[in-house]
Amino acid sequence: MNLQKIDKYRPNLHFAPKENWMNDPNGLVYFKGEYHLFFQHNPNDSVWGPMYWGHAVSKDLITWKELDIALSPDENGTIFSGSAVVDWDNTTGFFPEEPGLVAIFTHHKDGAEGKPPVQTQSIAYSHDQGRTWIKYDGNPVLRHETKVDFRDPKVFWHEDKWIMVLATGQTISFYSSFNLIDWQFESEFGEGAGSHDGVWECPDLFKLKVENSGEEKWVLLVSIGDNPQFEVGSRTQYFIGSFNGSTFVTEHNDIRWLDFGRDNYAGVSFSDIPREDGRRIYLGWMSNWRYANQVPTHGWRSQMTIPRELSVRKINGSYIVIQRLVKELDSYFSLQEKLDDIHINDVETIKVDARYMDMVFELENMNAKKYGITIHHSENHSTTITIDTISNSLILDREKSGDISFSEMFSNEQVINLKSNDNIQLRIVVDSSSVELLVNDGEYALTSLVYPDKACDSISIFSLEGDVKLKEGNVYVPK
């Protein structure tokens, strides 16, 4: 196989498997100086198939080392999504000498003779920092007699017990346990709340600080599977509310999307980040079920987003989730160009020519009907971000971004409806096959795959039918 062809789209800043298929991040946990990323993996093909847990570790969230497969199918089924925790106090009895890792995951067994599949929750534990795993003899530890969709457990310690957040069809169910083995049903959330355009998957529940206040809010993430009736594919919503150890209550009725791009799905947060660090760090699968099996990579498929730090911001009386790329990313860049107070009434172009890049622009609209940024990947390929001041929207257009032949939907515009467009801050990270955009210091996120000839040759700032001012701009290239 042509190695150049294999590596043409391989990312520099994002985790991708060495070979074959990857989807949802699983078991995100920090332990003894390492960030662990487990992931849905088919080690035998570069399309979705029988699921295993792949495994990678990192010291800094950006550079990852792929390890041996962690969990393989057995008599209870294949290994679907789940989470991992550190059992600090030996609640399981598996760690009489020192704390270790416990994985909580879904066993998926296809139904026989036309019967529906069976999904149950199981556990495994590791005494050697996740390098080898022992499956619990009493698996599965949780089953349901009637629910077909019963999967993706996210577990965390709350006050004096373990809480499991579980996807159960069109709802999220909450269970509690004192030992990760014996589980008790607590409550169910979802009826009449949020979007039900597809099956609910990959939940996560955590508490976040509200910026510039002493307030805290609980946030529930829910990913929604692909529904062919809609031209968006899979995506992720969130709810802000309260949790009392048994029941989650949302405090809003509107639908809130975590990401306005097509390519951020099934994301969850890391467990056991040290208290002195204090961050809630999130990572998503950078793809979309509508075309995940068809993207034009060879020998490997899929990558993860750059990890992001989450918080909550109160804007005009409403609470929203804020995403910022983790600070560890900054050490991979050096400043190439600093721009201040540039008046633009047509196009301003900056030469870059980099394998990957980061840019932060603060733009003030004077009287332009449209303005924005074009990423010129190569002479023939470009991705354009346009702010339309008439419709008050931001549009990412990847129709000319490179190979789009594998999906009719891939070239559709990706749109953010803005509250204001007079002053806008854009942070854009471009890698070999992706564009990650954060707007107004993380108020909006738009994550998008692209498949150009190369990452970036130059960038242009443009204005149409009027003027715009680049108040401040920084362009960063690899160190």
Q: Where in the sequence numbering do the catalytic residues fall?
A: 24
- Alpha-carbon gap, residue 54 to 17, rounded angstroms: 9
Q: Mind giving me the DSSP string for 268-289?
A: EE-B---TTT---EEEEE---T
With contact defined as beta carbons under 8 Å apart, do 290 and 409 qualify? yes
Torsion from C-alpha of 216, 217, 223, 229, nearest 10 degrees: -140
- Alpha-carbon gap, residue 34 to 59, rounded angstroms: 5
Type of residue at 317: G
Give just the sign of the alpha carbon dihedral 258, 261, 267, 273. Answer: negative
Q: Where are the beta strands (DSSP E) in 178-317?
A: 184-189, 200-209, 216-224, 235-243, 248-250, 265-269, 281-285, 300-301, 308-315
- Alpha-carbon gap, residue 467 to 148, rounded angstroms: 56
CA distances from 444 to 48, 267, 324 (A): 30, 16, 10
- Calculate the CA 2 to chain-centre distance: 30
- Alpha-carbon gap, residue 181 to 93, rounded angstroms: 10
Q: Give buried/exposed letters for 158-174 (b at 16+ CB in 10 A, else e).
A: beeebbbbbbbbebbbb
User: Phi, psi at residue 329, to the nearest 5°?
Assistant: -65, -35
Count CA atoms closer than 13 A to 80's CA, side-chain side.
24
- Strands 300-301 and 20-31, sheet pairing: parallel
With contact defined as beta carbons under 8 Å apart, do 119 and 107 qualify? yes
Q: Does residue 208 sit in helix, strand or coil?
A: strand
Starting at the edge strand found earlier in the chain, the sheet holding 357-365 runs 333-344, 468-478, 357-365, 423-431, 434-439, 444-449
- Alpha-carbon gap, residue 128 to 35, rounded angstroms: 14
Q: Which residues contact 224 (CB under 8 A, 6 or more apart)?
A: 195, 196, 197, 198, 199, 200, 201, 234, 235, 236, 237
Q: Does residue 140 sit in helix, strand or coil?
A: coil
